[in-house]
Chain A
Amino acid sequence: MRAFLKKDVLVYWRDRKQNIFSLVIPLILIVVLGLLLPNWIENPTSTLQLKAAMVVHDNEAAGLEQFQSSLKSRGLPDEEAAVLFELAAHSPPVSLLNDMLKSDQIISMVEWVELDEEAALRRLQSGEIQAIVTLPEDFTLHILNKTLLDEGNGAAISLTSDDPSIEVGVLQGIIEGFTQQFNASSAIAHAGTHSAVTLNQEAVLPSIGGVETIEGVRVLTSFQYFTLAVGAMFAMYVAANSANKAITEKREHVFQRILLSGSHPLTYLAGKIVATLMMSLLQLTLVILICHFVLDLFPGYSLEFWLGFSLLMMMMCLIVAALGGLFTAAMFRMNANTANAIIQALLLIIGVIGGNFAPIYILPDAVQQLWEWTPNGLWLSTMIQWIQQESWEAAINGMLGLSAFIIAIIALSVWTFPKRGRI
C-alpha cells in the first residue's frame, strides 16, 4: 500500500497549481461571506427602511367639536355629556395614532411625509414613497361615536401600497397591532359598562417579563461559521478530486496492471483513502490556520479547546477520506460522466442541507431537521457546539455519530469496489 500512497501523493504534487487554487478560493470566499453577512448568525434581520406618506382628511379639532355638539343635541344630562367629552378629549384616536407612528422606534424605520391625496398617489406610483396611510373624513367623529356611544360602524385606516415588500408588511403589522390594542381597550371599556364599571378605571399593570441570559456560552460569529462551513466544503471537494484522478487511471488501465502485479485491489483503495486523508488534512488545516491568523477567529482560547478542535478536524478529514474511497469505487463501477454527475449532485445536496453553502439558519425548517443527518452537517453542528460550550459530552456524542458515518461509508466503498477479476 505504501507504493500506492506514494503514487497518489506524487499525482497530487503534479497538479499543485490546482491545489493552490483550491486553497485560495475558499479563503477569498470566507472573507467575502464574512463581510457580506456580518452578524448574520447573531442577528438575522436587515435594517428596514421605508418612506411613507400620511394623508389626513380628518380634522381632529373639528371632529371633537362635532362630537361635543352632537352630545348636546342628543339630550344627554350635562354631567354625562361632560364626562364623555372629557374622555374624548383625553385620548382622541388620531393623536394616539400619530403618537404611535411618530414614536422613536417607528421613526427609525419609517420616514413620514405629510401630503394630500393626489400628491401622495403620484409619488407612490413614481416609486418615491412605498406606502400611503390615509385617515378618511370624519374619522375622529366616527370612532368617538362608536367607542363612547356605540353608534355607527367606526372608521377604517387605509394602507395603500404597490410594493409587496417586507418593509410594507412590517408597517402593516405595526398598524394592525395598534388597532388591535385600541379595539381591545374600547372592548374592555364597553363590556365593563354593561356591568357598571367606570371608564376611568385603569388596571395597575404589574411589571412582568424579562430576559435571562445563559452563562458560559459563547456566541458563534459569522466568520467562524463560514470558515468552518466553507473549509469543510472544499475539503469534500478534495474527495471529488481524488475520484477524478482515478478517471485517468481507469482510462490508462493502470488499475488492471496493478491487479496483474498480484496486489490486492483493496490496497489500491486504501492508498487512495490515505492520500485523500493527507491532502484534506493539509487543506483544512491551512485554511483554518490562515483564517485564524488573518481574521483572529479564536482569540485566546484555551489549550483544551484546541485539543478538541483538532480531534474534530481529524474526524472531518476521515469523513472526507471515506468519501474519497466511495467516489473512487463509484468511478470504477460506472461510466465516468455519470459518476461525476452523481458525485457533484451528492456534494451539492449534502452541502446545501449541511449548511455549507448558505447559513443553515435561513433555510426552511424541513431542511434544518435534516441538518444533522448529513456527515458534514453533523460535523458542523458538533463544531458549533464545541465552540459555544466546550462541553466534552456534546463533542463525544458528535464524534460517535461521525465515526458511525465514517465506518458506514468505508464499508460501502469496500463493498462496491471492484474485486479481482471484475473489471
Chain B
Amino acid sequence: MVPVFLAQWMKEKRSPYMVLIFISISIAAALLFGSNMDIKLKIDTFRGEGVTVEEAERWIDRLNESGAFIFSLRAEEESLADVRQGRSDMAVRLLKDDYRIIAVMESTNVELVQQHMQAVYHEEFRIMAAASHAEDELEFREAMKTYMEQPPLKLQSSTSSGSELRSYDMRLQLLFGFSLFLAMLTVGFRVNAMTAEKISGIWNRVILSPLTKTEMYLGHLTYSTLIGIVQITMVFLLAKYLFGFSLGHSFGMLAMIVVLYTMTIVAMSMLFTGILRTPEQFGAIFTSIVPIMPLISGAYMPPGTITNDVLLFIGQFLPLQHALDALIGVSIYEQGWTDIYLPLAKLLLMAVIFFGVGINLVERRRL
C-alpha cells in the first residue's frame, strides 16, 4: 500500500496544480465570506422635489440608527434604473416630511422597510411636535437623550446558562458549505486519476506485481482521503486564526467529522467511477452533479428555508448535508457527541455502502 501511496504523492509533486488551485479557491472563498459581509439590506434613497441635501441626510441618519437596513443617498436615475432592472428590490423617494417607496411589487422586504420607515417617521414627528411646544428645542432633545441613557424598559438576552446570546452566523455556514463542496471536487479528481491509470495500463502492471488489489485500492483511496482532509483543515485553520471565525471549542469533534466526511466523499467518488466508464465522462458528469449538492442541502440559505419534503428526502442521501449539520451543531450550537453521533453514523453508513457498490462495479467491469 505504501508504494502506491508514495507513487500518487510523486505524481502530485510533479504537477500539483490541481490541488493547489482548489485549495486556493477554498481559501479565496473563506476570504470572501470572512470579509465583513453586511447582512443588512441596502436601500437606495434619492431626493424628491424640494428636499435639500441636509434634510435628506438628516432623515437618512435617523433611519440608519436602528433596524436591519442601511439607507444611502444616490441619484434618482441610478436608483430607479436598478429597481427596473431587478437589481434592487426597491428605492425610496424622500419628500418633505414624507416618503414613497418605489418598487416593482410588494414583497416582504418592501413591507419590512415600510414598517421601519413608518416607525421612525412617526417617532420623529412626535418628538418634533412635543419639541415645538417646548421653549428650547435643543434643550428638549438634550433632555430626551439623557433620559434615554437610563431608559425605563430594557431587554436582556442570554442563554439558559447565562452566557451571551449569539445570533446565527450565516458566514460560518457558507464557509463550511463551500469548503466541503470544494473538497468534494478535489477528492473526485484524485479518485478519477485511478481510472486514468487503469486506462493507461499501469493498473494491470501493478496487479502483476506482488501487491494485492486491496493494497492498491487502499493506497489510492488513503491518498485521496488525506488530500481532502488536508484541504479542509487548511481552510478551517485559516478561517479560525487569520479571519477570526469562531469554530466552537471541540476540535476533536470537528476533526472526526472532517475525517468521516472525507472518507464518505471518497466512497461517493468511487461509486461514480464505478458507474461511469471513462475519465472524461467522469469529469463531465461529476462536475455537473456536485454543485447541486450544496443547493439541495440548503448550504447557501438560512436554515429552515427548504420546506419541500422531496428535497429534504433527497438531502438525506447527500454526505454534504450531514457533515454540514454536524459541523454547525458543534460550532454554533455547541453540541456534544450524543447530538452529532446520528449524522456521523449516517456518514459512516453511506461510506460503507458507496465503497461496497463502487468497488464492486469497478472490479466487474474489467477495464
Contacts and interface: CB of A to CB of B under 8 A. Distances in A.
A357 B291 contact: yes
Given A159-B165, A179-B151, A45 B108 contact: yes
A365 B158 contact: no
A20 interface: no
A160 B159 contact: yes
Of B109, B141, B283, B289, most buried by chain A (CB within 10 Å of CB) is B283
B41 to A, nearest CB: 10
A187 B101 CA distance: 30
Contacts of B281: 18
A124 B333 contact: no
A169 B155 CA distance: 13
Interface of B: 15, 17-18, 21-22, 25, 32-33, 35, 37-38, 42, 66, 68, 80, 83-86, 93, 97-110, 114, 117-119, 121-123, 125-130, 133-136, 139-141, 143-144, 147-148, 150-161, 165-169, 185, 189, 193, 280-281, 283-285, 287-289, 291-292, 294-296, 300-308, 310-311, 332-333
Given A179-B154, A237-B287, A205 B85 contact: no
A348 interface: yes
Given A195-B140, A337-B193, A341-B22, 8 more contacts: A36-B306, A182-B153, A188-B126, A191-B140, A191-B141, A205-B122, A364-B32, A388-B104
B54 to A, nearest CB: 20
A155 interface: yes
Contact of B86 (A142, A190, A385): A385
Contacts of B134: 191-192, 194-195, 197
Contacts of A345: 21-22, 25
Contacts of B106: 211, 213
A203 B302 contact: no
Interface in A67-90: none
Nearest to A244: B280
A289 interface: no
A173 B67 CA distance: 8
A43 B107 contact: yes
A36 B136 CA distance: 59
Interface string A195-235: 10100011111101111111001011000000000000010
A158 interface: yes
Contact of B125 (A42, A160, A203): A203
A328 B40 CA distance: 44
Contact of B295 (A33, A172, A190, A340): A33
Interface string A329-369: 00000010110111011011101000001100011111100
A46 B33 contact: no
Interface in A29-50: 29, 32-33, 35-36, 42-49
A248 B284 CA distance: 15
A164 interface: yes
B261 to A, nearest CB: 20
Contact of B114 (A93, A154, A209): A209
A408 interface: no
